[in-house]
Structure 1
Amino acid sequence: MDTGVSTVLEQGKKYFLFSNGPDHYYVSKLPKTSAHQGCFHKSLFQIVQEDEWPPEPAVDNVPVLDSSKIYAAKLIWRKRGYQQVKLGMYYLQLARTHAYVFRDRQLEKCIGCFPLHWFEDFREVNAEENETNEAVFKTETLESETKEEIPENFEQMSIFDFVE
C-alpha cells in the first residue's frame, strides 16, 4: 500500500470492507457501513477472510403447534445481526409465525421474537414439569446457601470502624 494514498489507513491492519460500486470499498474499523473512514480503490486491499453464513432454513419445515402452549425448542439459525444470541435450547411462547424466545421456563427472561423456522426439535413443556423443576431448583438453591461456611479467622468490619 502506498502510504501517500491515505493517512487514515495503516498498512497490514485489518478493516471491514463494504462494496461501493465495481472498483471501490467503504472502509471501516467497525462492522458498520455508517462508521466508514472513507472510500478507497479495491486494489489497495487483499480479502483475508469472508465470513461464511449458513443458508436460512426453509419456512415450510415448521410443525403444527398449539399457540396456547409453551414449547422448548432448539435454535439452529439466526441472522448475522443476532450473533450474540447463542444457538441452543430456549422456551417459546408462540405468536403466529414467530415466537417470543425466553431463556427460562418461567418466561421471565425474554431475548427476542424470532421466526419459528429458525428452530427445530419442538417439545411441549407442560405445567406439571414446570412445577417439579421449580421445586428442584429451589431445594438446590437452599442447599447451596446453607453449605456456605465462614472461615475460622473471620472478622466482620464496618467502614465506620476507621472513622475518627
Structure 2
Amino acid sequence: MRATSAFKFLAAALVAFSLASCGGVGSLGNVGFGGAKDGVDTEDDEIEPIIEGSGGMSQVGQTSIFDLFKRKDTGTTVKVNRYLWNASLDVLNFLPIQSVDPFTGVIVTGYGRPPGGGRAYRATVYIKDPALDARSLNVAIATRGGPVAAGTQRAVEDAILARARQLRIQDKKY
C-alpha cells in the first residue's frame, strides 16, 4: 500500500512539473524557469518583443500553430526584364533547357548544336536587373572542351540584346 501511494505522489509531481514547464516565461508572470525571478530584466527580454495579452499579462514571443499558415511579406521582390528573358529563350532556342528560374533570372541549358554547326554548346544566362541594358545580362557559354572565346560570348550577348530591343519595339506598337 505504501509503494502505491509513493508511486501516485511521484506521478502527480511529474505531471505538475510537466505542466509548469509548458507554461513558459510569460504565462506565470516571469516566475518560471529561465525568467527574471527578482524583477531584473534579462537579455532574453531585450531580444524578444513583449506583447500585451488578454488580462494584462505579457507574452514574450508567443506564437501559435496558425502562424505557419500566414503569408509573410518579406518586402523583397525580384525584378527581371521580360524582354531580355524572352530574347534569351528565343536566341538560345536550339539548346535544351535544364532549369529555369524566372524569380532570380537564371536560365541553365544543356549541350546542344546550333543549326548548321558541328560543335555542341551549353549556356547559362543570368539577368540581374530590370533595365534593358547590357549590364543587366550575363551569359556564360561553354563547349565540352571548356569556355568559348570572348568574341563568341559577346556575339551571343549582342544577339540577345538586339532581339530584346526588337521585342520591346513590337510591344510598343500594340
- TM above 0.5, yes or no, is no
Band of TM-score, shorter chain: under 0.3
Q: Which has the higher helix share?
A: 2
Q: Which has the higher strand share?
A: 1
TM-score (norm 1): 0.26
Q: Which has the larger radius of gyration?
A: 2
TM-score (norm 2): 0.24
